[in-house]
Amino acid sequence: MEFISQIIIPILIAFSAGVFPNLIKEEKKKEKILFWVCLIGAISFYLVVNFNKSNLTMFGFSNSENPNTLIDESRVYRLRIFDYFRMYFNVIVIESVLIFLIIYSIKYAKRLYYIIFTFIFCCIFVLTYVSHDYETGVEYYNRYQETRSTENYLTLSEESLIKSYQSGYDKSALMLATINIEKYLLDDDREYLLDNAEKYLTISNELGFENKKAEAYFYYCGGYVDYKKWRKEKNNDQLFYAAEKKFVESQKLYSNDENDASFSLGYLYSEKWEEDKSDEQYFSKAETYLKDTLEQGDKRARYELGFIYREKWEEDKSDGQYFSKAETYLKDALEQGDIRACYQLGFIYREKWEEDKSDGQCFSKAETYLKDTLEQGDIRAYYDLGYLYTERWEDDKSNKQYFEDAKKYFKQALANGNINAENALEYLDKAGSIV
């Protein structure tokens, strides 16, 4: 079928197109109009399909759905079918024009004006066709970034980018590394995806980069691969230093408003510090890079700063400055829409209340934030609420409501896979029977 579409059909089109020079030569008005209508129609269709790819709503491929909902799988494959049609349309037209040019430039050598026009038209097709698969791959990847709800777009992107790479389009290698990293993020049990990403990064480095931004992104992806491998092998310092080196190189090349490398360095150092909290240099580095990232406008840094300040406060709860910093940054992060901060706020208020159980305000805040966390779907809060009510009941065992609430939340925590809740329930059953 592919042979027919790419060889036989263009030849038939080219031969049938031979009637047009004769019609023009005989100066038949209707046939002239037909010729120009067909030609302008072909150009218009090409322009609509190839130069307006981001606006496919006219073909029923609107992206207006809520990004949090699943994509209609049939729409994904309809888009794929349309893309194949677009690709084969290009192939047929390009080859038809080339065959037409060869045949009729020989037969009608004296009438070159329309042949020159056709040749220019052909060149436009050829130039755009070279990067077609790459652009299609990027288009599918962008659609995935908009939704992040299905791996289908990543698979479609990878297929197009592989074709592009096999056709000699060098910068496809860097995008293929990105696709493999994104797939790994969806399922980090697939270690081979990191190896694939590393392979494409090596190829990309050998081929060279078209600009500093591409080179910076190369180092960033390389650092990310090493970082993910280091998380699996925390005792392998070589991977940590490799990730650090690549992130630093990436940061040097990125402009100030593109700070993924700065954020990644802050995150990397914070994880290294959590391994050995006696090593203050990593805490200081994490704090510095995360603050720099925040100054550059990256909102993610608020949560990370709040988290490391919470960890720092837990080391020495007599130092209230770290509690205040954690509280401030986590509240800011929550206001900016980072729902992870809700659980962390509930956690630090719970621990703050344990330091001084006369502080009913901290208890109320812990209770509120943890319940809000549950509403957002974070099941960790079941256990924390059970723990909070257990502590409250132990202060006032005459209040059976706290006891019942503690049991209720521990049961829900156990049902959701928290095995620590089983011991907590056994404790409550024993303590409750004594009372």
- Sorted by sequence, the CB contacts under 8 Å of residue 287 that are 6+ apart come out as 266, 305, 308
Per-residue confidence (pLDDT) for residue 218, from 0 to 100: 87
Per-residue confidence (pLDDT) for residue 169, from 0 to 100: 74
Q: What is the mean pLDDT of residues 379-402?
A: 90
Radius of gyration of the chain (CA): 31
Per-residue confidence (pLDDT) for residue 236, from 0 to 100: 87
Nearest to 18 by CA among 35, 3, 33: 35
Q: Is 410 or 30 the better-scoring residue by pLDDT?
A: 410
Rounded CA gap, 367 and 389, in Å?
9
Label residue 263 exposed, middle or buried (CB < 10 Å: 0-12, 13-18, 19+): buried
CA–CA distances in Å: residue 74 to residues 32, 56, 401: 42, 15, 51
In tens, the pLDDT along 21-46 reads 554 455 555 555 555 555 555 555 54
In tens, the pLDDT along 175-228 reads 898 898 888 888 878 888 888 888 888 888 887 777 777 888 888 888 888 998
Q: What is the mean pLDDT of residues 100-111?
A: 53
Question: Residue 12 carries which side chain, given as an amino acid letter?
Answer: L
Per-residue confidence (pLDDT) for residue 116, from 0 to 100: 61
Nearest to 34 by CA among 17, 10, 59, 49: 17
Q: What band does 60 get if pLDDT is binned at 50, 70 and 90?
A: very low
Q: What band does 362 get if pLDDT is binned at 50, 70 and 90?
A: very high
Q: Would the pLDDT of 92 be above 60? A: no
The per-residue b/e assignment along 392-417, b for 16 or more CB within 10 angstroms, e otherwise, is: bbeeeeeeeebbebbbebbbbbbeee
409 contacts 385 by C-beta, under 8 angstroms = yes
Alpha helices in 131-171 (DSSP H): 132-147, 152-166
In tens, the pLDDT along 131-169 reads 567 878 888 888 888 776 678 888 888 888 888 887 777
The domain segmentation of the chain, as residue ranges, is: 1-130
Tokens representing residue 95 in the block = 């080859």
Tokens representing residue 431 in the block = 């303590």
Q: How far is CA 279 from the centre of its chain?
A: 33
Per-residue confidence (pLDDT) for residue 76, from 0 to 100: 42
Mean pLDDT of the chain: 76
Q: Is 167 or 51 the better-scoring residue by pLDDT?
A: 167
- Across 60-64, 74-78, 309-313, which has the greatest mean pLDDT? 309-313
Rounded CA gap, 84 and 277, in Å?
55
Per-residue confidence (pLDDT) for residue 73, from 0 to 100: 40
